[in-house]
Amino acid sequence: GLDEVGRGPLAGPVVAAAVVLPRGFTHPEIKDSKLLTADRRETIAPVIREKAVCCGIGVVEVEEIDRINILNASLLAMVKAFRGLKPAPDYLLIDGRETIPPGWFKTGKKASGSSPQQRTIIKGDQLCISIAAASILAKVARDEIMVEFDKKYPEYGFASHKGYSSAVHLEVLRRFGPSQIHRKSFAPVRDASPKNAEWIIGSLFEKR
């Protein structure tokens, strides 16, 4: 199962996870990550990693998102997650509508010899346990990344909103302008008019 997290945020990477579960495996709490609290996701994630045959995480950073667009970045994150699976499966269940271009599996030193078959499932994170498991691992991984970014850019509140377009985030973005991890290709970021340059804000925090 493959799923990604982080298409919508104005800042931070897009993260995908791939999970292979044992045949017939079930667990009552493995469900769409959006239906779980952060605490429950963090509790269930280690269970998934322990029970899975294998799992992988793929991260695509902001610079790449701005260069190739968020859709392609999401698919690339899935390819990276797939490459972390050992043994690599020959059939993928993908949340959503978009399939991964077959040629993308054949690039890089760790490419597989042939492209796996793919099946997309709309709302797959609610219908397929392996996709649901992937959604949980991806969400936990991305949240951890954003909490770390919050330490570097405390004025933006990334630990709270995780880069999503909340009212507080938009206000801070208008006040300070974009940070280095904001997606410049996204309209709210591109249109932000900073009152103070980011390096000034950074220097103030360094002097504390």
Q: Where are the domains of the chain?
A: 2-149, 152-206
Query: What pLDDT score was predicted for residue 186?
Result: 96
pLDDT surpassing 80 at residue 208: no
- Comparing CA positions, the residue from 41, 43, 49, 60 lying closest to residue 19 is 49
Q: Give me the CATH code for the 2-149 domain, please.
A: 3.30.420.10
What integer pLDDT is reported at residue 201 of this predicted model?
A: 46
Rounded Cα gap, residues 100 and 117, in angstroms: 10
Neighbours of 156 (CB within 10 A): 27
Side chain identity at residue 183, one-letter code: R
Task: Determine the pLDDT at residue 19.
Answer: 98
Please give the model's pTM, rounded to 2 decimal places: 0.88
Residue 193's pLDDT band, with cuts at 50, 70 and 90, is low
Contacts 24+ apart (CB under 8 A), 170-175: 173/10
**Residue 192: its pLDDT value, please?**
84
* 199 has pLDDT over 50: no
Q: What is the pLDDT of residue 117?
A: 96
Q: Confidence band (pLDDT; 50, 70, 90) for 107?
A: low
Tens digit of each residue's pLDDT (9 = 90 or more) over 145-180:
999 999 999 999 999 999 999 999 999 999 999 999
pLDDT at 106: 77
Give the three-class secondary structure for 169.
helix
| Rounded Cα gap, residues 193 and 191, in angstroms | 6
Contact partners, residue 85, CB within 8 Å, separation at least 6: 18, 20, 54, 55, 56
Query: In the prediction, which pLDDT does 109 show?
Result: 44
Q: Which of 24-28, 52-56, 151-155, 201-205 has the lowest mean pLDDT?
A: 201-205
Give me the pLDDT at residue 200, please. 40
